[in-house]
Structure 1
Amino acid sequence: MLHNNSLTYYEAWKINWGIAISKPTESKVIFESPPSFHGDGESYYVLNYNEKQFIEIKDAAFWHPLNVESIDPLKERISSFKDSVMAIYPNEKAKYEKLFWANLIELEESGLYYYKKKMMIATVS
């Protein structure tokens, strides 16, 4: 969730999460909700990068390798995130189920992930 409308998503992530990434070649906002008594708001983005950018991002120090031990806990965190979004918006459960299904998060052992307690999950495959 952006707190300063003049910041881009990726600039806000550097400030809020410590993730410094370049401007994507394409970005898609799957959904974004405003802050509420539940917290800062929920957001889900899909970013696309060209080959050169992807290599630079993939080599960033903040990533952790996905492996057999990390995949199941991450799946649980992703499921918990989905459940929390649908609990906050019970009247729109079908809408969010459809969004999550259409924009699946793929976890592969050769991939990378970043997780911070505030419920930020990012993957690279």
Structure 2
Amino acid sequence: TVLVEVDGRRIEVSLPADLALSGGCEPAGVIRRKPKPRKRGAHAGAAASGDAVTAPMQGTVVKVAVEEGQEVVVGELVVVLEAMKMENPVTAHKDGIITGLAVEAGAAITQGTVLAEIK
């Protein structure tokens, strides 16, 4: 028998013997594997080199956080893209000045589209 709390209510649940906990915190027969490490910035980056800040995925531009001629630093928000109902930040990959701002809010873009350049 296990006591669980759901939404502030305590419920007593009886489990079959083969589902009962096996001495520790892991259920019997469960093997835990470490998750594969994610590449840093894989979902929200910009081009790794060069001047172009590119779209890491297809989506819609929700917000343009910079202006032409604005100075940015590494990691600063440039654009927010929406893809599959999730907002994804695209950040500056180097310090510099925004030039060639090529998108505006509401624009539909494809993966690899140049959003802006940083000189």
Q: Which category of TM-score, normalised to the shorter sequence, fits these structures?
A: under 0.3
Hey, which of these two has a bigger chunk of strand by percent? 2
- RCO (CA 8 Å, sep 6+): is it higher in 1 or 2? 2
What TM-score does the superposition give when structure 2 sets the normalisation length? 0.22
